[in-house]
Amino acid sequence: MMALQKSVIVVGSINVDCTVSVSNLPKPGETVHGTDAFYLPGGKGGNQAVSVAAADTKAVMISAVGNDSYGKQALDSLKGYGVDTAGVLEKDGATGTAFIFVEGSGENLIVVTPGANSLVSANDAERLIKEFAKDAPPTVLAQLELPIETVEHAAKVTEEATGRFILNLAPAAEISTKMLAACDPIVVNEYEASFILGREIANTHEALVAAVDLAKRAKSVVITLGSQGAVYVDSSIGAGNEVRHVEAKKVEAVDTTGAGDAFVGAMTAALSRGSALGEAVEIGILAGTAAVLHFGAQPPRS
């Protein structure tokens, strides 16, 4: 029997990133000078789809852009990276925009306006997931830059199709216990994990404990720790949980924008190809580390 091609359906946002470099991020009420603005492709969904495609896995995007010039540029860019954009809808209005300020250390400050992303409906998600998952149970990756009800419905449709639903809880927001229970894994950073659990996570040990606690609510859990790597809990190993900290290689960051998205996309691609969660996390960390070595949320195309 011929093996079906592995693919990932990304239900997520497409933005244009307006990026400005500054010597230091501004404090409340402070004005700082920056470089000329660069307009680059972005959006957590688009970034993660690019990372999936970079991992030699088919990436199918379900999203929306506006009927403006930025929407066309965003689609052309995604296609250039090898992302299938057949599921991207064109809506009246503006394409989503992220305003990003990057300081010398590589740290950033981001404000997002959703634009067309806010118009992707639950019905859109259901119709397109079913269209792209005719031949096999789908691997669906989502974030929270689309309407919550759309993402919730995507999780429901994925479960009904006996697929695997992966959620990057970014930006942090309240979700239902039912959607949390469907996540395999839920991927969060320290702040997002703290948001769910209602307590601060200050170090790796506390992140491991938090991951174990979250695994009581989700099928599996990954907590990213920036330059410290990630921790995960995989409940599919034998009779108990596999709980582990995976360290990241130390590098000098140029721009941390999109590093988390690179991690999530590469990890999801590995899971879709049958990797265990631990191996997938290791692959994701390599991609996330490489992502901080270039400017912008998506890698430069040669």
86-130 pLDDT, tens digit per residue, is 999 999 999 999 898 988 877 888 888 999 999 999 999 999 999
Count of alpha carbons within 13 angstroms of residue 22, beta-carbon side: 19
pLDDT at residue 201, as a whole number: 94
Dmax over CA atoms of the chain, in Å, equals: 64
pLDDT at residue 195, as a whole number: 96
- The fraction of the chain above a pLDDT of 70, given in percent, is 94
pTM higher than the cut 0.85: yes
Residue 261 known to be catalytic: yes
Q: Helical H runs in 81-201?
A: 122-132, 148-160, 177-182, 190-197
State the sign of the Cα–Cα–Cα–Cα dihedral 145, 149, 169, 278: negative
- Give yes or no for residue 294 having a pLDDT over 90: no
DSSP helix/strand/coil, 184: strand
Q: What tens digit of pLDDT does each residue of 18-64 get? A: 889 898 888 888 888 988 888 888 899 999 999 999 999 999 999 99
Using a 10 angstrom Cβ sphere, with 0-12 exposed, 13-18 middle and 19 or more buried, the burial of residue 4 is exposed
Closest listed residue to residue 117, CA positions, set 140, 139, 147: 147
* pLDDT interval class at 242 (50, 70, 90): confident
Mean pLDDT for the stretch of residues 118-144: 94
pLDDT at residue 1, as a whole number: 31
State the sign of the Cα–Cα–Cα–Cα dihedral 210, 276, 56, 128: negative
Q: Do residues 213 and 231 make contact, with C-beta atoms less than 8 angstroms apart?
A: no
pLDDT at residue 163, as a whole number: 96
Q: What tens digit of pLDDT does each residue of 257-277 get? A: 678 999 999 999 999 999 999
* pLDDT interval class at 238 (50, 70, 90): low
Q: Alpha carbon of 222 to those of 89, 150, 232, 284, 286: distances in Å?
A: 31, 23, 4, 11, 15
The residue ranking higher by pLDDT, 13 or 235, is 13
DSSP helix/strand/coil, 77: helix
The beta-strand segments (E) located in the chain are 7-11, 15-21, 38-42, 58-66, 84-91, 96-102, 108-113, 139-142, 164-168, 183-189, 220-224, 230-234, 242-246
Mean pLDDT for the stretch of residues 234-241: 68
* Long-range contact set of residues 290-294: C-beta below 8 Å, sequence gap at least 24: 290/262, 291/51, 291/258, 291/259, 291/261, 291/262, 291/263, 292/106, 292/251, 292/253, 292/254, 292/255, 292/256, 292/259, 293/251, 293/253, 293/254, 294/254, 294/255
- Give yes or no for residue 5 having a pLDDT over 80: no
pLDDT at residue 266, as a whole number: 96
* pLDDT interval class at 253 (50, 70, 90): confident
* pLDDT interval class at 227 (50, 70, 90): confident
* Range with the poorest average pLDDT among 47-51, 137-141, 241-245, 265-269: 241-245
The residue ranking higher by pLDDT, 12 or 235, is 12
Helix axes 44-54, 277-291, angle to 10 degrees: 110
Superfamily of domain 7-25+35-291 in the CATH hierarchy? Ribokinase (3.40.1190.20)
Q: What tens digit of pLDDT does each residue of 187-198 get? A: 999 999 999 999
Q: Do residues 140 and 168 make contact, with C-beta atoms less than 8 angstroms apart?
A: no
How many angstroms separate the CA atoms of 102 and 158, rounded? 36
Mean pLDDT for the stretch of residues 195-213: 94
pLDDT at residue 298, as a whole number: 76
- Give yes or no for residue 255 having a pLDDT over 70: no
Closest listed residue to residue 192, CA positions, set 234, 163, 225: 225
pLDDT at residue 194, as a whole number: 95
Mean pLDDT for the stretch of residues 191-209: 94
DSSP 122: H
The conformational region for residue 226 under phi > 0 = left, psi -120 to 50 = alpha, else beta, is: left
pLDDT at residue 240, as a whole number: 63
